[in-house]
C-alpha cells in the first residue's frame, strides 16, 4: 500500500489569530483561505512539504449539536481538544524563536523518559502544539 498524509484538521476560534500564529510564528505558508457563510477554512503547511493543516471553524462540523459544540469550545479553551506533533532539527533554536513571541509555552525543551526531546505550546485556539527534536 502507498498511503500518505495529505491534511489534518485543527479547530480555530479566531481565523486572523490562527493565520498569524501558523504563518508568522511557525513560518508556515498559507495555501488557502476560504470563506463561506461568515466562516473561514485556512490551509497552512510547512514550505516545500506536501502535508497541510486545515484550520476550521468547529461550528461548521456537520451534525454537531449545540451541546456538543459547547463541549468542543470548552475543551479548546482548556487545550484538551486537539493537538499536533511537529519535528525540527534544532529544538532549542526553534523553542527560543517561538518563546520570543506571545505564544503560550506549556513545556520547555525536555528529555522525556520515552526517548523524545520535545517542547509544547498552545496556538491561539488552545490546540496543543508539540515540537520534537528530529533524530539524525
Q: Which residues does the chain have with pLDDT short of 50?
A: none
Q: pTM for the whole thing? A: 0.92
What local confidence, expressed as pLDDT, does residue 3 receive? 87
pLDDT digits (tens, 9 = 90+) for 57-92: 999 999 999 999 999 999 999 989 999 999 999 999
What local confidence, expressed as pLDDT, does residue 100 receive? 96
> Buried b vs exposed e over 1-23: b needs ≥16 C-beta within 10 Å?
eeeeeeeeebbbbebeebbebbe
Task: With respect to residue 64, please indicate whether it lies within any of the assigned structural domains.
Answer: yes
What local confidence, expressed as pLDDT, does residue 45 receive? 97
Q: Which residue stretches of 8-111 are H helix?
A: 15-19, 66-78, 91-99
- Kindly report the backbone phi and psi dihedral angles of residue 8, in degrees, each rounded to the nearest multiple of 5, phi listed first: -135, 160
CATH at 90 = 3.10.180.10
Task: With respect to residue 1, please indicate whether it lies within any of the assigned structural domains.
Answer: no
Q: With contact defined as beta carbons under 8 Å apart, do 82 and 62 qualify?
A: no
Range(s) of the domain holding residue 90:
7-133
Amino acid at each position: 500500500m502507498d498511503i500518505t498524509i495529505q491534511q489534518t484538521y485543527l479547530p480555530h476560534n479566531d481565523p486572523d489569530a490562527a493565520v498569524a500564529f501558523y504563518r508568522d510564528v511557525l513560518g508556515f505558508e498559507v495555501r488557502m483561505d476560504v470563506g463561506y457563510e461568515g466562516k473561514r477554512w485556512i490551509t497552512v503547511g510547512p514550505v516545500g512539504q506536501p502535508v497541510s493543516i486545515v484550520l476550521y471553524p468547529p461550528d461548521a462540523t456537520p451534525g454537531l449539536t449545540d451541546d456538543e459544540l459547547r463541549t468542543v469550545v470548552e475543551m479548546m479553551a482548556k487545550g484538551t481538544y486537539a493537538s499536533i506533533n511537529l519535528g525540527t532539527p534544532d529544538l532549542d533554536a526553534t523553542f527560543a524563536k517561538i518563546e520570543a513571541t506571545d505564544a503560550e509555552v506549556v513545556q520547555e525543551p525536555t528529555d522525556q523518559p520515552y526517548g523524545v526531546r520535545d517542547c509544547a505550546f498552545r496556538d491561539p485556539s488552545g490546540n496543543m502544539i508539540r515540537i520534537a527534536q528530529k533524530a539524525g
